[in-house]
Amino acid sequence: MQGIFKLTALLPFLPFLAFALIVLWANRDKKLSAGLAIGGVGLSWVLGWAIAFTTFGIEGFGEHPFRMFRDWLPTGRTWQAFGFAVDPLAAAMLIMVPFVCFLIFVYSVGYMGVGKPESEHDERGAPAEPGHVDRLASRFFAYIALFATGMIGLVLADNLIMLLIFWEIMGLCSYLLIGFWFARKYDDPKQITPKEAGLKAFLTTRIGDTVMLAGIFLLYVQTKSLSFADIFRPEMLEHLATTTVNVPLIGVTPWATVIGILIFFGAIGKSAQFPLHVWLPDAMEGPTPVSALIHAATMVSAGVYLAIRTFPLMQAVPHGPALQFMAFIGAFTALFAATIAVAQNDIKRVLAYSTISQLGYMFAALGIGAYVAATFHLLTHSFFKALLFLGSGSVIHGMEHGHHHFELPIADCGLADPHSTAHNPKSEIRNPKSFDANDMRNMGGLFRRMPRTAWTFIIGGLALSGFPIITAGFWSKDEILSDAFNGHTVVFVTLALAALLTAFYTARQIVMTFFGKPRTAAAEHASEHDSIFAWMTVPLMALAVFAVAGGWVGIPREFPVLGALSTNPFHHFIGGLAEALEIHVEELPFDSVPLLTSLVVALGGLFLGWLVYRKARPAGHQVEEGEYMASPQQFVDPLARPLGGLYKVLQNKYYFDEFYHAVFIRPVQRLATWLYRVDDLWVIDPIVDGVGKLWRGISEAGRWLDTHIVDGAVNGIAAVIGWCGGFVRVIQTGKAQNYLLVGLVTVSVLLGAFLLLPK
Amino acid sequence: MVPLTWYLVLAAGLFCIGVFGALARKNAVGVLMGVELMLNAVNINLVAFWRHTAVGEMTGQLFAIFVITVAAAEAAVGLALFIAIYRQRRTVNVEEIDTMKG
Amino acid sequence: MQPVIFALLALITLGAAAMVVTTRNLLRAALWLILAFFGIAGIFILLNAEFLAVAQILIYVGAIATLVIFAIMLTRNMMDPSQPRFNEQWGVVGGFAALLFVVLAAIVTRVTWPVAAGDVPADTIQRLGSDFVGPYVVPFEVASVLLVVAMVGAIIIARERE
């Protein structure tokens, strides 16, 4: 029975094989590429479940996790291992990760239009016309297969080096996939393009990664090992918690705290927590399956996973600053992002802020020591958030189909300006100004037209808001709230407020999208009858099942009535690992206050949202009853007037993008321009000219002197000036030799310093 | 026997001459020749260390052979690149090849 | 006797190398390069690595240097003597290369190396061969793949396109 563990290493390898085969061989055939990607991750899924279910049957698995590793990378006198490990945490993730990947891959077949003909209007790297296949669909499947490698490998990593490798693979895939439609451009120069969004995501997460790398270095210096099993030995944690370092401005701090906070920064970047949250909403420029896979279900939760993995380190100093910091960041982000989500109109951006908020929930839970609850919420959230994203993708496609089928016939009848549509359907459809299929203000009444999408989306929405008893989100959120209620009042109140807002914006989203009357012709003609929707709605239904039933494994035993039926297997399973790591977890006694709170915030929020938005419609005097809106601006949000200026602030996301642009990006640009000027206009050239003139004068006056000496001196000076110029100009000349010179200078100066400086 | 240090100093000298060639030559083939000199300096180090510290194991020589292999591959690809670039631009002046500039 | 041979070889090698990087005519530079390779082969013999010396001459002189000369001849006006030899940063490069040499020389002479005198085993070449197909078989295979890839790549890159 245990033999199956030997196959662990295959899990990340199978999607990687699919990636390699697509890139090297199958990329001309889009169907084959899709088949390879789905096959690779499908095998991983089956194998992953087999391994995970085997571990559920093993008593005391937490104390004796499975490890396989081989020395791989010599680092001085120690070796870094290449290895995988399966422990309860990894097994729980194995239930979720390959399965969700598999479903999203299947969904992508429909979303990318695999099997449809190519459109001759389509440009490479731009979204395809409705009813056509994306020109780069093979590349898409290669990327997501590589991504699956990254995520599965990260979950199974046995040490921090492995974790870092897979972490960066995911970062790369995230960049490539956000910018997948790299040729897409918008009329509005302020609107961020996919290319820019990819860059933004990559650079923003890089800040967190760099800090995390510093933490990993320090950890290695202190422990001489990066293997989780070594680091989390009680002696080692004791050592880390007792040895201290004098941090400037802060004072004497234990190493465990310093390293914990530094590593947590990696999680902040990856999971888009405040203050590095700005990249995630813009990451929605990527294709929707990517948003579901990377920016909702897996990669962003890798940050939380990292924090859960390194939790023993964080709590080596019990209730220390590392945990407090985490709780603060998490709770703050949970509330902060939820408020922004209330005022967004893009269906995907609402979900993006909701993701940020829910990830904040998990960090807050970890920060107050709710190890099991955080893990639980991580898993349930992945299911229902992936469901919501995929549902939104289905809605967007439905809207595009409606728009497409509606616009063309009208143009043919000569009702519309023929220049804008019939002769150039491409620009009509592509031109985002003309129609934004993501904008919820353009929707309404989609429930009748897309029933399968609507039902599953509503189930996902209810799970997100924590609809009592039946949905998974209720059980995981309730567990976090009851942990928080037990002595962390501030966190409890913050999280309860965030939960209220969550339910509110979810209701707003559902009502605006699916109910009321269609506000545009596209919404009126939206449908899910095309063959691609068969690929897209089946994964939705599978995820909907998990969004509901996924919570039943974690029903607390103390819960009234239902608790009697439950053995709370999840808590038991993860708790075994926690005990082995000497993390203190216990099932709390039942308390009615947090339960009532979560009931009230979920139901109250949903009800409020419904109440406010059920009558929302385009402003009366501009659009007659039963007519369509000319532009989304005509839809007036019912909250806009009562909230006034605050609504605008929320809509602009508290102006964080503008703030970062003004404080970080603009000054750097200015500095670069200024340095360029200093170099070329003000300093170097005048000096060269001046010195040259001066010396020419002297040499002409003293021609009778030895010409060679003077010439030599002129050349010498010119050379000196040239060197200086070379130094300054070395930045960004594009010439490889200049760059290499920087390396030469650095190495020789560093070596010289090494030689001269006292040891 | 000649002491180890002599070989190392010789290799350092050869390496620095190679660096100069690689970074200061205008012609791409000249740059390549500089790189070859640097690789040879490395080989001298490898073999000298093999002879003076670990004559029982063949690791030093083995690595030198791998370096030669890589150098051969590098020269073949590098020169093919130069010919291709020359065909397109009528120059192999390294300074004019600055498409890395953003 | 050995120090004298060493000094002679070192002089040849360094002198030829210096000519390689400074000569204006590229074809001459390539010929100097061949002399430098021969000097290095002599150093290898001095170090009792006869096989490597032969490989050095076969590969570097026989293949790489020949390739370089061919490339120079194929792109003939590459050796236009009116062209400057160096780019504008040559002064800085020279300065720092010299500094690097001084620093490296200072470091290698100061460090006490774990020198272990020993006799060269009689079956060096045999060992080399069995090591290649023994513990180093994977790198060996990778190297052969690398060579094939480089060969194919070189052909594709240099091939004339319509």
pLDDT of the residue at A613: 84
Residues of C in contact with A752 (CB under 8 A): 99, 103
Structure tokens at C23: 């000569």
Residues of C in contact with A755 (CB under 8 A): 103, 106-107
B38 touches chain C (CB under 8 A): no
**8 A C-beta contact, residue A462 and residue A388:** no
Q: What residue in A sits closest to B99 (Cα-Cα)?
A: A734
Q: Which band of pLDDT confidence, cut at 50, 70 and 90, is reported for residue A433? A: very low
Contact assignment for B12 to C93 by CB distance below 8 Å: no
Q: Which of A124-133, A444-453, B8-17, C15-24 has the lowest mean pLDDT?
A: A124-133
* Cα torsion through A64, A65, A70, A76, rounded to 10: -80
The CA distance from A508 to A519, in Å, is: 15
The CA distance from A390 to A403, in Å, is: 20
Report, as an integer, the average pLDDT of A238-254: 84
The torsion angles phi and psi of A623, rounded to 5 degrees, stand at -120, 125
Residues of C in contact with B4 (CB under 8 A): 113, 115
Chain B residues near any Cβ of chain A (below 8 Å) = 19, 22-24, 31, 94-95, 97-102
Chain B interface disruption, residue of C22, C47, C70, C146, most B CBs within 10 A: C47
pLDDT of the residue at A427: 40
Q: List the beta strands (DSSP E) in C44-89.
A: none
Closest approach of B90 to chain A, Cα-based (Å): 18
Domain residue spans of chain C: 1-79, 121-162
pLDDT of the residue at A742: 84
Q: Which band of pLDDT confidence, cut at 50, 70 and 90, is reported for residue C100? A: very high
Report, as an integer, the average pLDDT of A68-82: 80
Q: Is the pLDDT of residue A223 over 90?
A: no
Contact assignment for C93 to A747 by CB distance below 8 Å: no
Q: What is the tens place of the pLDDT at every residue in A136-166?
A: 889 999 999 999 999 999 999 988 989 999 9
A740 touches chain C (CB under 8 A): no
Give the pairing type, strands A78-86 and A66-75: antiparallel
Contact assignment for C100 to A747 by CB distance below 8 Å: yes
3-state class percentages of chain C: helix first, strand second, coil last, to nearest 5 = 75, 0, 25
* Residue A126: alpha-carbon gap to chain centroid: 22
Closest approach of C153 to chain B, Cα-based (Å): 7
Residues of C in contact with A742 (CB under 8 A): none
C92 touches chain A (CB under 8 A): yes
**Distances, alpha carbon A599 to alpha carbons A499, A656, B77, in Å:** 10, 33, 68
Of B31, B15, B48, the closest CA to residue B94 belongs to B31
Question: Which of C88, C96, C106 is closest, CB to CB, to A745?
Answer: C96
**8 A C-beta contact, residue A201 and residue A279:** yes
**8 A C-beta contact, residue A393 and residue A536:** yes
The CA distance from A180 to A294, in Å, is: 13
Q: What residue in A sits closest to B24 (Cα-Cα)?
A: A737
- What percent of chain A lies above the pLDDT cut of 70? 87
- What percent of chain A lies above the pLDDT cut of 90? 26
Radius of gyration from C-alpha coordinates of chain C: 20
Q: Which band of pLDDT confidence, cut at 50, 70 and 90, is reported for residue C85? A: confident
The CA distance from A351 to A457, in Å, is: 12
Closest approach of C110 to chain A, Cα-based (Å): 10
Closest approach of C90 to chain B, Cα-based (Å): 5
Chain A interface disruption, residue of C85, C86, C89, most A CBs within 10 A: C89
Contact assignment for B61 to C90 by CB distance below 8 Å: no
Residues of B in contact with A741 (CB under 8 A): 23
* Apex B84 CA angle, B78 and B85, nearest 5: 90
Q: What residue in B sits closest to A744 (Cα-Cα)?
A: B19
Cβ within 8 Å of residue A144, ≥6 positions away: A37, A101, A104, A105, A108, A173, A177, A289, A290, A293
* Residue C55: strand, helix, or coil: helix
Question: Residue A528 pairs with which residues in a beta bridge?
Answer: none
**Distances, alpha carbon A748 to alpha carbons A744, B15, B71, C102, C103, in Å:** 6, 13, 24, 9, 7
**HEC readout, A645-690:** HHHHHHHCHHHHHHHHHHHHHHHHHHHHHHHHHHHHHHHHHHHHHH
Closest approach of B79 to chain C, Cα-based (Å): 6
pTM, to two decimals: 0.76
Q: Which band of pLDDT confidence, cut at 50, 70 and 90, is reported for residue C72? A: confident
A726 touches chain C (CB under 8 A): yes
Q: Which of A233-237, A357-361, A676-680 has the lowest mean pLDDT?
A: A676-680
The torsion angles phi and psi of A595, rounded to 5 degrees, stand at -65, -45
Neighbours of A141 (CB within 10 A): 29
Contact assignment for B80 to C136 by CB distance below 8 Å: no
Contact assignment for B61 to C52 by CB distance below 8 Å: yes
Most confident of A196-200, A587-591, A665-669, B10-14: B10-14
Chain C interface disruption, residue of B31, B39, B61, most C CBs within 10 A: B61
Farthest CA pair distance, chain C: 61
Residues of B in contact with C121 (CB under 8 A): 55-56
Given a contact as 3+ CB pairs under 8 Å, which chains touch C?
A, B
| Ordered DSSP codes for A375-388 | HHHHHHHHHHHHHH
What is the DSSP-derived secondary structure letter of residue C89?
T
pLDDT of the residue at A420: 41
The CA distance from A89 to A443, in Å, is: 41
Report, as an integer, the average pLDDT of A366-379: 89
Q: Is the pLDDT of residue A35 over 50?
A: yes
Q: Which band of pLDDT confidence, cut at 50, 70 and 90, is reported for residue C97? A: very high
The CA distance from A432 to A231, in Å, is: 52
Of C56, A740, C42, C44, the closest CA to residue B72 belongs to C56
Query: All domains of chain B, ordered by start, with CATH?
Result: 4-89 (1.10.287.3510)
**Distances, alpha carbon A411 to alpha carbons A404, A415, A417, A418, A428, in Å:** 11, 6, 7, 6, 11
Question: Which of A732, A741, A744 is closest, CB to CB, to B101?
Answer: A732
Question: Which of A732, A734, A737 is closest, CB to CB, to B23?
Answer: A737
Encoded amino acid at B97, one letter = I
Closest approach of B28 to chain C, Cα-based (Å): 9
Q: Is the pLDDT of residue A627 over 70?
A: no
**H/E element, A109:** helix A88-111
Q: Is the pLDDT of residue A626 over 70?
A: no
The CA distance from A713 to A719, in Å, is: 9
pLDDT of the residue at C80: 62
Q: What residue in B sits closest to C146 (Cα-Cα)?
A: B73
Given a contact as 3+ CB pairs under 8 Å, which chains touch B?
A, C
Q: What residue in B sits closest to A737 (Cα-Cα)?
A: B23
**8 A C-beta contact, residue A338 and residue A357:** yes
Q: What residue in C sits closest to B32 (Cα-Cα)?
A: C68
The pLDDT mean for chain A works out to 82
pLDDT of the residue at A412: 42
The CA distance from A162 to A84, in Å, is: 8
Q: What is the tens place of the pLDDT at every residue in A500-547?
A: 999 999 999 998 888 888 888 888 888 887 778 888 889 999 999 988
Q: What is the tens place of the pLDDT at every residue in A77-125?
A: 788 888 898 888 898 899 899 999 999 999 999 888 888 888 877 778 8
The torsion angles phi and psi of B28, rounded to 5 degrees, stand at -60, -35
Contact assignment for B55 to C116 by CB distance below 8 Å: yes
* Residue A505: strand, helix, or coil: helix
The CA distance from A601 to A361, in Å, is: 15
Mention the CATH class of domain C1-79. Answer: mainly alpha
Q: What residue in B sits closest to C122 (Cα-Cα)?
A: B56
Residues of A in contact with B26 (CB under 8 A): none
Structure tokens at A729: 């100009």
Q: Is the pLDDT of residue A730 over 50?
A: no
Q: Which band of pLDDT confidence, cut at 50, 70 and 90, is reported for residue A473? A: confident
Most confident of A65-69, A174-178, A587-591, A734-738: A174-178
Cis peptide before A425 (omega within 30 of 0): no
C88 touches chain A (CB under 8 A): yes
Contact assignment for A741 to C95 by CB distance below 8 Å: no
* Residue A497: alpha-carbon gap to chain centroid: 24
Question: Which of C36, C59, C149 is closest, CB to CB, to B37?
Answer: C36
**Distances, alpha carbon B6 to alpha carbons A251, B30, C109, in Å:** 51, 28, 9
**H/E element, A83:** strand A78-86
Q: Which band of pLDDT confidence, cut at 50, 70 and 90, is reported for residue A39? A: very high
Cβ within 8 Å of residue A500, ≥6 positions away: A601, A604, A605
Contact assignment for B25 to C120 by CB distance below 8 Å: no
Question: Which of B29, B47, B95 is closest, CB to CB, to C44?
Answer: B47
pLDDT greater at residue B61 or residue A704: B61
One digit per residue, pLDDT tens: chain B, 102 residues?
788 999 999 999 999 999 999 998 888 888 999 999 999 999 999 999 999 988 888 888 999 999 999 999 999 998 888 888 888 777 767 667 666 554
* Cα torsion through A206, A207, A213, A215, rounded to 10: -150
Q: Is the pLDDT of residue A417 over 50?
A: no
The CA distance from A26 to A22, in Å, is: 4
Neighbours of A607 (CB within 10 A): 13
